[in-house]
Structure 1
Amino acid sequence: MTNPRATIDALLSPLRPARKRQTRMQMLLEAAARFGYAARGFVYLSAGILTLLAALGPTEGAFGAGDTGVWLLDQPFGRLWLMLLGVGLWAFVGWRVLQAVFNVDHASKDMKGIAARAGQAMSGLFYGLLASSVFEVLDEARELASRSAERAESVAENQQKAQQVLALPFGPSLLMLAGAVVLGIGIANLVRAWREDFLSSLDCPKAMCPTAEFLARAGYAARGFAYLPLGGFIILAGMRASAREVTDTAGALAALQAQPGGTWALAATGAGFAAFGAFAFVEARWRIIRPPRKLAP
């Protein structure tokens, strides 16, 4: 009879550097984390390439991370790929929970470490919503007539949520605060692109390190840049007390494209998204992952 531990170890061996013997739970957690990074990589690499093509003309409109599911559904074996993508994204959410709650990255207990774990928690929330949207696309596959129809539905949902916020006491101020948070996330990504030591979390060959670092910096800069117009639209909606100003990431990028020089800015953003996706694949292969033997917050 085949030893399950040996089988799992054989499957994981191409995906990680050699390490000490792990428990079965640790191996499964590591496999899930690497699968999650690969799923994130696929989302951003696809969105980046499609946005780059949109800027250059062959396709219509910018693509956000949430648009990948609708595009994938139209491809051969689309439902199967969508299901794998959704599972991978939920695996990444699980890894974010381990990072934020159980501190598997051994972040320091000072403000920097707390901020890092808070960012991981917010990232987990974002990818949880993204994973849910992937399975929502699967459930509504027969009803989705086109990507533009799905985009309109997405924007309508965002505007409905904004309207609910506006109906609360101090609603406009709350909506402006939400926009400021989105702007803060964008600025944080830009700062991280400039200052972060991305190689400290990797165990990659020396020849690969410069490329990995370039992909990370370009990718985080593009992500940060994409959040800025989105946050601006939300703040504008709060200032005008009008939910009609709210859009999604792709809508914000489309508005950017309409500005002078916007096509080049959109192309740069698409290339940056693709770089971020490529870096996620680098992380799937070479990130240092230390699954805990016991889960204790």
Structure 2
Amino acid sequence: MAASLPDLGIGRLRREVGRLIDRVRKRRTWRDRFPRLHDALEASSRFGFAANGFVYVSVGILMLATALDMRGQAVDPHGVLSVLAQQPLGRLWLILIGAGLWAFVGWRVLQAVFDVDHEGSNLQGWVVRAAQAASGLAYAVLASGMFELLDEVGSNMGAEQLAENQEKASVLLGLPFGGATLMIIGLVIAGVGIGNVVRGIISDFGATLICSKTVCRWVLPLARVGYVARGLAYLPLALFATLAGWRAQSSKVETFGTALEALERQPGGDLMLGLTAAGLIAFGAYAFVEARFRRIRVPKDLATG
């Protein structure tokens, strides 16, 4: 009986030490309750790619429906959001997509400001990073439009966007050298389109992905077709903006969607619009691939969080 007393004391000590260790393990600081900044930035960037892919796949599907005469009007990314806003739970869709697009803006900031793709600080690197910054600004404009759409859901949103664009062009044309400025805007849009086409042809998209050779062999054509199609889709809008500046007529200014409608009215327009739609679907599908396989690097200054 006396020999069992030390055993009882040791057992009790073990239990107390075990309880103490459990309490220490369960005590977490407020920072431990959140994911590491590196993980959060990576997750946010992948969410952004997915949102971007959803928008472009939706644009392509609706554009393809227009080419097949299943609906009456081609749409741009802003237009597809207007369509989604009118569906059941439309406002919820807008909030989710808007959050995703802002996440994609954050990814563009990482690329342009922190050079996470290692483009470098030479002339070529700065040109690429400037293009990434401009892309981020364009997505920020699209994402900020979510809040307007939440209050302005209606069936005539496309007409409102066209009227708004023409009003802005009218104000611009009223300024000194307004026509020349609008022509420059048109040429910039054309430059963006041509840049997308060139990138689709010459870029090494596989270098930015972490995937097997088999997967990369299947998905890389999506990137090439998608970028070329998106680049070509910008050219009708660039043409209208340049002609509007040349003729000093704001009524010539179109939206992305109405410019493609004008393309559809040309000989063989349905075929061209259908091919463009298929290309934009490929571009969106590749964005989903990037959401899964994109190499996401976080700057060391931020990864310490």
- Aligned-residue sequence identity (percent) comes to 52
Equivalent residue for 2:269?
Answer: 262
**C-alpha distance in 2 between matches for 1:173 and 1:228:** 18
Equivalent residue for 2:214?
Answer: 207
Q: In the alignment, does 2:231 pair up with 1:235?
A: no
8 A Cα contact 1:25 1:293, kept in partner: no
Q: In the alignment, does 2:159 pair up with 1:152?
A: yes
8 A Cα contact 1:79 1:138, kept in partner: yes
1:3-33 Cα distance to aligned partner (Å, 9 max, x none): 7999977xxxxxxxxxxxxxx1111111110
Between stretches 236-245 and 103-112, larger displacement belongs to 103-112
Between stretches 255-264 and 93-102, larger displacement belongs to 93-102
Task: Return the match for 1:51 from 50, 63, 79.
Answer: 63
Between stretches 221-230 and 55-64, larger displacement belongs to 55-64
The residue type equivalent to 1:45 in the other structure is V
Q: In the alignment, does 2:297 pair up with 1:290?
A: yes
8 A Cα contact 2:38 2:302, kept in partner: no
RMSD: 1.9
Whichever of the two has the greater Rg, that structure is 2
For structure 1, list consecutive stretches of 5 or more residues without a partner in the other structure: 10-23
TM-score (norm 2): 0.87
Equivalent residue for 1:274?
Answer: 281
For structure 2, list consecutive stretches of 5 or more residues without a partner in the other structure: 1-25
TM-score (norm 1): 0.89
Equivalent residue for 2:122?
Answer: 110
Task: Return the match for 2:177 from 159, 164, 170.
Answer: 170
Task: Return the match for 2:150 from 127, 138, 149.
Answer: 138
Structure 1: which 4+ aligned runs deviate by more than 3 Å?
1-9
| Residue aligned with 2:176, SS | coil
8 A Cα contact 1:99 1:105, kept in partner: yes
8 A Cα contact 1:216 1:276, kept in partner: yes
Task: Return the match for 1:81 from 67, 71, 93.
Answer: 93
8 A Cα contact 1:54 1:62, kept in partner: yes
Equivalent residue for 1:17?
Answer: none
Task: Return the match for 1:94 from 83, 87, 106.
Answer: 106
Task: Return the match for 2:37 from 9, 22, 25.
Answer: 25
How far has the Cα of 1:35 moved from its partner?
0.5
Aligned residues: 277
1:70-123 Cα distance to aligned partner (Å, 9 max, x none): 111232322111100001101111111111112121112222211110110111
